[in-house]
Structure formats: structure tokens, C-alpha cells
Amino acid sequence: MKKTIIMILVFLLGGVVYSQQYTTFSGYIHDTYFINPGAAGSSGGVRVGLGYKNMWTGFHNSPVFNMFTADAKINEEMGAGGKVFTYNTGPTSRFGFEGTYTYSFTLGSGKLSLGLSGLLYQLKLDKSDLDMKNPEDAVLYRSTTDRLMVPDAAFGVYYYGDKYFAGLSAVQLFGRRVDMKNGLEMRQERHYYLMGGYTFDLGNEMSLEPSLLIRFNELLLYQGDLNLKFKFRNIAFAGVSYRANHNDFVYSPGDAVVGMLGIDTGSLLIGYSYDYLLSDISNYSNGSHELIVVFKLGEGKGAAKL
């Protein structure tokens, strides 16, 4: 029961435990459209992505995040994309759609792309999924099954070339307060993602790809991911990430260390990531598992894009 209550609080208090209000994949570097609307169409052809993440294993009804994405280059200036996603934590869930349009132009040695997304998702809170010792609890008693449709928007700026990328995106732009009929409410905090990376050729068909992602919201809470990805023989890769929270350097070594393994042929990428937790939640969880599959078709399938 204690673990179930923790999961509910993570969902309802997203303004405080902000990193779980808008979940992302550790392997975002395999397909940057996962977190930046401006990246839609940047692969040069058609790109299809599948993502699965089981967070904080060891909890009963631990969070599970699924996403399907597709994006394509329409012509030299325009691109488009779409997403279908689900986020489940047992009694709470989110299911939604996102559609994206991008406009890009040449700037210096690369291309600058501006992307705008519209979203519509359903929030659901189902009391019947709770195993409560005290069903008459003053708060949870009001938490009968409830559904609410929520519109939203996201925006992204993405600059990229053959060996580099940089971007800034913002999600949950409406910043609205979501009120459930049972009296529970939460604020959809705006979240921002600042990222960048570069590919260094090491010779002998090997490369090194360092990258950085900083996630922050209007409460000035942040997470920072420092990533290092090594690709060899243009087919296999291994990587490691370190994730820090807003005040980790005061009282803890960080939030997580992430290990990544996979294959990348240019037209097909299959990547697995494991988050080894460093925070106090590791007392209850065995870490997080993640699988990402990306297909590339058409003009951009042979390009080594991040």
C-alpha cells in the first residue's frame, strides 16, 4: 500500500516531482523527435520510432511509458510528424495524440527547423485499481473513476547538420490547471528541454558522440543528462549517461547512471537502456528498463543522425 500511495503522489504532485509529470526516454538521442517537435523531418526521409520504458521496477504498478512516433520530410522546407503515447501507473493513466508541423531553412552549414505540435490526451484516475486498507480515506474516497480530455501544445527549435545537433523545446505550453471532478487537481507545469551533441570520427568506422540534455520547468527544478555514445564498425554502439537533479550536489551523488547497448545499421536502430538509480527511491526500486526501435526509410536512411 505504501508503494501505491507513492505512485499516486508522483502523478498528482507533478508540480513538485516534476520530472515524472512529463516523462522522457533515456535514449532520446536515438530519435530526437521524441522530445523536440522541431526535429520532425530532420532524418531526411521517413522515420518511425517505438519506445517502451518500465520505470522504477520493484514497485507494484510501477510506471510504464509507451510511445509510437512517425515523422517525414515533405519537401526542402517542410516536415510533419505524429505521436501516440500512453503512460500508466496503475490507478492513473494518460493516453494521447500529438501532431507536428515543421518549417526549416538553411542557416550556415546546417538547417534550422521550427516545429509546432498540437496535443490531445485523456487523464484517467481509477479508484477500483487501488488496494486500500482504508477505503474511507478522506482523500482517496473522493477519487472515484474519472476521465478528463486535455488539449495542449508544444514548440521546438532544432538546428542540425551531418555531425551535430542543438535544440530548445517547450512542452505543456498551456500551463493549465487540471481539475478532476472528484476534487483532485494539478497544474500542468511548462517544461523546457535544452540539448546538443556532436559526432567525432575516430577512424576505422568508429565514432564518439557526446551530448547533453537539460530539462527544467518554471519552478526552476532541473535534471541534467550527460551522455557519451561510442559507435563501432557502423553497426553497434554502447553508451553511458549520468543524470543529476537540481540539488543533488548538496546531498546525493545524483539521480541515475544509465547504460546503453544496441545496433544501428543506419536504416534500423535497436537500443536498450538500464537506469541504475542513485536517489533515495533506489531503496524501493530495482531501476528502470527501456527499449527503443527506430526505422529509417528513404533519403536519410544511411545517415548517422543522432
| CATH code, 170 | 2.40.160.40
What's the structural domain count of the chain?
1
Confidence of residue 279 (pLDDT cuts 50, 70, 90): confident
More confident residue, 121 or 143: 121
Q: Which one is predicted more confidently, 8 or 199? A: 199
User: What pLDDT is stored for residue 128 in this prediction?
Assistant: 64
Mean pLDDT on 41-60: 90
* Interval 59-102: pLDDT, tens: 777 889 999 999 999 999 999 999 999 998 877 888 999 999 99
* Per-residue model confidence (pLDDT) at position 112: 98
Does residue 62 form part of some domain? yes
Give the residue with greater pLDDT, 155 vs 183: 155
| For the chain, percent of residues with pLDDT exceeding 70 | 79
Q: 241 lies in a domain?
A: yes
pLDDT at residue number 79: 97
For the residues of the chain, what is the DSSP string, one character each?
-HHHHHHHHHHHTTTTSGGGTS---TTGGG-GGGT-GGGTTTTSSEEEEEEEEE-SBTBTT--EEEEEEEEEE-SSSEEEEEEEEEEE-SSEEEEEEEEEEEEEEEETTEEEEEEEEEEEEEEEE-GGG---S-TT-TTGGG---EEEEEEEEEEEEEEE-SSEEEEEEEE-TT-PEEE-TTS-EEE---EEEEEEEE-EEEETTEEEEEEEEEEEETT--EEEEEEEEEEETTTEEEEEEEEEETTHHHHSS-SEEEEEEEEE-SSEEEEEEEEEE-SGGGGT---EEEEEEEEEESTTTTS---
Most confident residue range from 55-64, 215-224, 261-270: 261-270
**Residue 305 falls inside a structural domain:** no
Residue 302 maps to a domain: no
User: Residue 256 pLDDT more than 80?
Assistant: yes
Is 55 a domain residue? yes
| Residue 276 is assigned to a structural domain of this protein | yes
Q: Is pLDDT of 225 > 80?
A: yes
In a domain, 212, yes or no: yes
Q: Give residue 73's domain range.
A: 2-297
Q: Is 118 inside a domain boundary?
A: yes
pLDDT value for 138: 52
